[in-house]
Amino acid sequence: MTVRMHNRLVLPWLGFLALLVAGCSEYTVRGPQIPFLTPVASNGLAKTPPMGWNSWQKFGTGIDDPTIRSIADAMVTTGMRDAGYVYVDVEDGWTNGRDGDGNIEGNAKFPDMKGLADYVHSKGLKFGIYSSPGPYTCAGYMGSYGHELQDAKTFAAWGVDYLKYDWCSAGSVYGNDDSAYRAAYERMGDALVMAGRPVVYSLCEYGRDSPQVWASLVGGNLWRTTGDINDAWASMTGIIELQAPLAKYAGPGRWNDPDALEIGNGNMTDDEYRTQMSLWALTAAPLLAGNDIRTMSAATSSILMNQEVIAVDQDPLGRQAAPVTNGYLQTWIKPLADGSVAVGVVNLGKTAAPASIDARDLHLDGPVKTARDLWAHAGVVFTGGRYSATVPSHATILLRVSST
């Protein structure tokens, strides 16, 4: 018997096995179909892409309350909070089950969720949590199916500021056609509004049903556009290729989400990590660090907290760049609110390559007056309307260019 789940560890929890025994294989069990009704009221949040830290990339289901508290401490002492990373998000692995009244509870690793949220808030940070529209999460823990409003009210009482809602077992009860995704996510979107606490709503159905078209209508602030990222060059670049065609759907309060940052997890080079940071900034992606920030190197810190690159990501215009490809080079141009542009040239090849940026392609209001390399933190010169440089393998040149 096989159940198709998301591409992360699935633990053999008794409740999940009971669901399988009951006949939930290959998403064949169908529950009541909830109609896709009226749009959910906007929560007015995430005017720029959310920034914070997510537990899954480094810790998986091994996360616990003391670790989250120490991460919150480190968000302050490392400068991450002041750089803009304000959400601390507990991913899969925190639930136990429900009490006699049906209220969701933390497990032994998370005995006091409200106390934990209060601690995170005391550090000037915001608290995020994780659930599923299905009966169980990706790792087999309790989901929110049938308890959406009850869970939303519980999350509000705890002080939750951010909810990631991951599809996983939801197909077993809703099916997997287009209306199923929309109905399931609308149900929680409505519940969050009714619970009365503003919560950033992060949808994760892996881009299966073009969420960029409808997710904001069900209250979503961001939506995953792809499957899970891995700490590997091929995974990172493959994901951003899928993000690229969706540029027109991004804007204040609604963001295409290519998944978390792998920067500092050790399987890519610093040049490759700078490329991830550059591409996420150019595509106006949420910036959710996934490393252990308590022990990060100086190089990792300098990448994650590069304020000039963060400013490109957080630009209030909210435009997402799209690439033009020339051989192994990709050029991404992002208009910014002050009339300048960010331009990145990525070398996808295995050897260094010469690159050139023509000012005419930047669509500025006049000739280039200032240009700055955001990784070198230094001015550069356009000569004859052109800037040329050599881009190392898997590296990125990222400039901010202005005609004023």
H or E element that contains 162:
strand 162-166
Nearest-10 Cα torsion for 324, 326, 331, 332: 20
Choose, from 166, 257, 292, 315, the residue flagged as catalytic.
Answer: 166
Is 190 one of the catalytic residues? no
CA dist 270 and 394 (Å) reads 10
Q: Which two tokens stand for residue 131?
A: 């659930």
The pair of three-digit structure tokens given for residue 204, joined into one six-digit string: 């994760």
Token digits of residue 294: 């308590």
Any catalytic annotation for residue 166?
yes
Work out the burial of residue 178: count CB atoms within 10 Å of its CB; fewer than 13 is exposed, 13-18 middle, 19 or more buried.
middle
Return the H-helix or E-strand segment holding 72. Answer: helix 65-77
Count of other CB atoms within 10 angstroms of residue 368: 22
| Distance, C-alpha 29 to centroid of its chain | 30
What's the DSSP call for residue 47?
Answer: S
192: tokens are 């969050």
Among 228, 270, 271, 373, the one annotated catalytic: 228
Structure tokens of 220? 């979503």
Whether 318 contacts 285, CB under 8 Å: no
At 333, the amino acid letter reads I
If we measure between CA atoms, which residue out of 81, 96, 95, 89 comes closest to residue 58? 89
CA angle 102, 105, 110 (to 5 degrees): 180
User: Which residues are known to be catalytic?
Assistant: 166, 228
